[in-house]
Amino acid sequence: MRSHVRTALVTGANRGIGLAIAEGLAAQRIRVLAAARSEESAQEAAAGIGAGAIGVELPLDDPLEVERQARRITDAHGPVDILVNNAGILADGRGLEATTADLIESLMINAASPFALIRMLGEAMKARGWGRIVNLSSGWGSFDEGLRGPLAYSVSKAALNAITFAMSGDLGPQVKINAAGPGWVRTRMGGQAAARSPEEGADTPIWLATLPDDGPTGGFFRDRSPIPW
Ligand SMILES: NC(=O)c1ccc[n+]([C@@H]2O[C@H](COP(=O)([O-])OP(=O)(O)OC[C@H]3O[C@@H](n4cnc5c(N)ncnc54)[C@H](OP(=O)(O)O)[C@@H]3O)[C@@H](O)[C@H]2O)c1
């Protein structure tokens, strides 16, 4: 009989880096709630991950609906100890080529919906005195690296970075919230020319999701090392 110590919710767990994160956490005897856009893809992902993983439907287009759905998930499956905000979209278009619609959609899916989950699940983590939150960011969201990706993507990841930093003080030292840059990874988003496998891209997020009690909070990490915002 398998006994799980912690429960992790991973968004976009049906493919790419999210699937690799979910598999890596499940291998550490963590109960995984594999979240995906539809019930069908969530169930398929959970069956593939195995190790007691549970599929949960979690479309991220509407942050207010995400709050309601987060409540439904915890009502059905109990508290979440680890939240991995992995799902994201990459809209093309640099500078003036970016559309306002792309910016709004990217901010909703890449920043506001992750915030909704942080709000709903992070507050309960704080009350229980333990939690880990990982936000999948990107070097393209870094001011230090020049915000040099497509505009809507870079700005939405910079917003996610800002949410990470701003929430770290409020969540307190027992709930660790950090941003992770996975590097350039071979997924539908990264393309087949990318240098890293999904498993390599998942390494730093998994490390942050399982930090010890003296681990860092409120930081931005790539290859398990801090990088500037
Ligand atoms: N790949 C890279 O080189 C790279 C580099 C830096 C950062 N990242 C970040 O790493 C994370 C994972 O990227 P990836 O390369 O694994 O991307 P991916 O292969 O394109 O997968 C994206 C995931 O997000 C989900 N998703 C997108 N929009 C959604 C929505 N509205 N509701 C629910 N789920 C939604 C997708 O679900 P569906 O299957 O239903 O579409 C899919 O599971 C992203 O946040 C990305 O920005 C990736």
For 142-163, the pLDDT digits (tens) are 999 999 999 999 999 999 999 9
Q: Is 184 in the pocket of ligand 1 (CB under 6 A)?
A: yes
Nearest CA to ligand 1 atom 20: 189
Parallel/antiparallel/unpaired status of strands 82-85 and 131-136: parallel
- Note the pLDDT tens digit of each residue in 7-64: 999 999 999 999 999 999 999 999 999 999 999 999 999 999 999 999 999 999 999 9
Say which of 153, 158, 202, 209 is annotated catalytic.
Answer: 153
- pLDDT over 70 at 192, yes or no: yes
| pLDDT higher than threshold 80 for residue 4 | no
pTM for this model (two decimals): 0.98
Q: pLDDT tens digits, residue range 79-113?
A: 999 999 999 999 999 999 999 999 999 999 999 99
153 carries an active-site annotation: yes
Report how far residue 210's alpha carbon sits from residue 218's, in angstroms, rounded to the nearest whole number.
15
Residue 137 pLDDT > 70: yes
Confidence label for 197 from pLDDT (cuts 50, 70 and 90):
very high
With a cut of 70, say whether residue 1 has pLDDT above it. no
Ordered by start, the domain boundaries in the chain are 7-226
Q: Residue 70: its pLDDT value, please?
A: 98
Sheet holding 82-85, edge to edge: 54-57, 31-36, 7-10, 82-85, 131-136, 175-180, 220-222, 225-226
The arithmetic mean of pLDDT across residues 173-188, rounded, is: 98
Return mean pLDDT, the chain. Answer: 97
Residue 55 has a pLDDT of 98
CATH 3.40.50.720 given to domain 7-226: yes
DSSP sequence for 185-228: B-STTT-TT-SB-HHHHHHHHHHHHT--TT---S-EEETTEE--
Angle at 106 between CA 217 and CA 38, to 5 degrees: 90
Residues 6+ apart with CB under 8 A from 108: 60, 61, 62, 63
Q: Which of 11, 17, 196 to mutate to test the pocket of ligand 1 (most atoms within 8 A of CB)?
A: 17
Interval 201-229 mean pLDDT: 98
Give the list of residues 6+ apart from residue 43 with CB closer than 8 angstroms, or none: 55
User: What's the confidence (pLDDT) of residue 5?
Assistant: 87
85 CA from centroid of ligand 1 (Å): 10
pLDDT at position 116 over 90: yes
